[in-house]
Amino acid sequence: MEKIHPRRTLTFLACSSMIMSGAVAQAQSGAGARTPSTAKPPSTTKRIETLQQQLQEQGRQIDSLRQQAQEQEARYRELQERLQTQEARSAPPRPPEGAAPAATAEAAPDIGTRPVRVGVAPSAEGPAMPEVAPLFDQPGILTPRGKFVFEPSLQYAYSSNNRVALVGYTVIPALLIGLVDVREVKRNTLTAAVTGRWGVTNRLELEAKVPYVYRSDSTISREIFTGSANERVFDTRGNALGDVELAARYQLNEGKGNWPYMIGSMRFKTRTGKDPFEVATDCVTRCIGNTTGTGLPLDLPTGSGFYSLQAGLTWLLPSDPAVFFGSFTYTWNYGRDNLSRLVLNGEREFIGEVKPGNIFGMNFGMGLALNERSSFSVGFELNSIGKTRQNGLPVVTSVRTQLGSLLLGYAYRINDKTSLNVTVGAGLTRDTPDLTLTVRVPISF
C-alpha cells in the first residue's frame, strides 16, 4: 500500500513560495536602483507582470497540490483503519489473564475424529476421517467420544435360483432337502434391525445389532421315486428374532500424509435366531430313504444356528473430491456336536457334528459428494464360503461358493443429527440374492 507523507508536500510548497517571493522582490529593487523617478521602462514593467502571473499560477498549483495531499491523507487513514479492523477479526481470542497454556489446550475441542463431507479438504488444524454413503455392514467413520448413534434399518432381499445353495440360513442343503428334485426356489427375506453405536474414545467404538427376520420361500419341486412327473409348489414362512451381533472397532492411525485411515474390527454373531435344526421337516420318520415327504422345512429358520467370529481391516483414503474405501474380513464359523433335526410327529434324526465353512470377504468402493447435504457411493463386495463338513468329512454336495454383489448407495443429511442412507445391491453370481434394498436412518445423540 502506497504511503503519503503530508509534511514533505507542505515543505515543498513553502520553499516554492519563498523562491517566487524573492524573485519578485529582486526585480522590484533592481528597477528602483536604475532610476529614481516613478516612471519605469517598458521592459521592466512587462517582466514584473510576467513574474506576477507566474506567481499566481504557481499559487493555484500549490492550492491544488495541497488539496490532493489532504485527500490522499484521508484515504491513507481510511485504509489504515480497515487494515486494523481486519487484523482484529482474524486474530485468535486472547486467553484470560492468569490462565495457563495447558488449560487453553485442554479446552480446545478434539477434532481428530470429527466427520467431514466428502470432497471438502480437511482443516489444517488436524486430520479428520471422511464420511461417505455407507454400502457395507462396517461403517466407515467412528462415533466420537461420548456420542451415541441409534440406527434403525430395514432390508429386503429377493433371490430366485434353480438350486438350493449355501446362502443365508440354509447351511447344509444336502441334509435339509432329502429326496426331492428341487427345480426352483424363490426366496423373500425382510429384516428389520436396530443398531446402537457408542464412542468409548475418539478411536474406539462399540456396537450392538438386534435383527428381526421375516422369511417367505416358494419351492417348485418334484418328488422322486413316486412315479409322478407333476411339479408342485411348496410355500413356507417364518418370522422371529434373528442372530444378535456385537462388534468393536478401533482406529489404528491418524491418516496423515498419503496414508489411508486404518480401522481394525471384531464382530461376534450369536445364534439367538430360530435354529435350522429346531424347525420341523416334512418327513414322517427320516428324510434319507423316505419317499412320503418333501424333505423341506415346514417353518423357516431366522438364524444360522452357529456362532461366528469375524476379524476385519477397513481402510479409507481421501482424494479430493472423492474418498476411496474398502475392507478385508475373515469369518470363523464354530461347529456343533450331537446335532439332530426335528421331523414330523416330534421325532428327531441324528446328524452328528456339523462345521460350516469359513468365509473370506473383501470389498472396495468410492464415495463422491454431490453437494453439502448428499453423497453418492458405488462398491463391490465378494464373499468366498468354504465347504461344510459333517463328522469331519466334507458334505458330498457342498462346494466352495462365491457371492459377489454390486452396490450403489446414496446418503442425504436431513439435519446435523439425522441422515438417510439408501443402498441397492445386485447379485453378480448365481448364488447371490438377485436384489437387496437397505434403508438406514442413523440418529446421533
pLDDT at 60: 86
pLDDT at 293: 60
Is residue 108 assigned to a domain?
no
Q: Which residues of the chain have pLDDT under 50?
A: 1-4, 27, 30-40, 96-127, 164-180, 225, 289-291
pLDDT tens readout for residues 401-429? 899 999 999 999 999 899 999 999 999 98
pLDDT at 165: 39
Q: Which three cell numbers stand for residue 129?
A: 476421517
Q: Alpha-carbon Rg of the chain, whole angstroms?
A: 43
Q: Is the peptide bond before 260 cis (omega within 30 degrees of 0)?
A: no
For residues 286 and 373, membership in a common domain is answered with yes
Is residue 172 assigned to a domain?
yes
Question: For residue 170, what are the CA distances in angstroms to 140, 213, 278, 375?
Answer: 30, 14, 13, 36
pTM for the structure as a whole: 0.64
pLDDT at 123: 42
Closest alpha carbon to 28 in 16, 12, 40, 37: 40
Q: What are residue 49's phi and psi, to 5 degrees?
A: -65, -40
Is residue 241 assigned to a domain?
yes
Is residue 112 assigned to a domain?
no
For residues 328 and 362, is the Cβ–Cβ distance under 8 A? yes
Question: What is the helix (H) or strand (E) element at residue 157, kind and residue range?
Answer: strand 148-161
Is residue 123 assigned to a domain?
no
Q: What are residue 36's phi and psi, to 5 degrees?
A: -75, -15
For residues 272 and 400, membership in a common domain is answered with yes
pLDDT at 42: 56
How far apart are the C-alpha atoms of 379 and 329, rounded to whole Å?
Answer: 16
How far apart are the C-alpha atoms of 296 and 441, rounded to whole Å?
Answer: 37
Closest alpha carbon to 329 in 365, 381, 402: 381
pLDDT at 110: 43
Question: Which residues are registered as beta bridge partners of 213?
Answer: 191, 240
Its domain, for residue 438, covers: 148-444
For residues 158 and 72, membership in a common domain is answered with no
Q: Is residue 323 helix, strand or coil?
A: strand
How far apart are the C-alpha atoms of 186 and 216, rounded to whole Å?
Answer: 8
Closest alpha carbon to 206 in 194, 218, 197: 197
For residues 277 and 385, membership in a common domain is answered with yes
For residues 169 and 71, membership in a common domain is answered with no
CATH at residue 176: 2.40.128.130
Is residue 107 assigned to a domain?
no
For residues 79 and 167, membership in a common domain is answered with no
Q: Which three cell numbers stand for residue 405?
A: 454383489
pLDDT at 297: 77
How far apart are the C-alpha atoms of 180 and 400, rounded to whole Å?
Answer: 22
pLDDT at 359: 94
How many structural domains comprise the chain? 2
For residues 152 and 79, membership in a common domain is answered with no
b/e per residue, 19-57, with b = 16+ CB within 10 A? Answer: ebeeeeeeeeeebeeeeeeeebeeebeeeeeebeeebee
Is residue 169 assigned to a domain?
yes
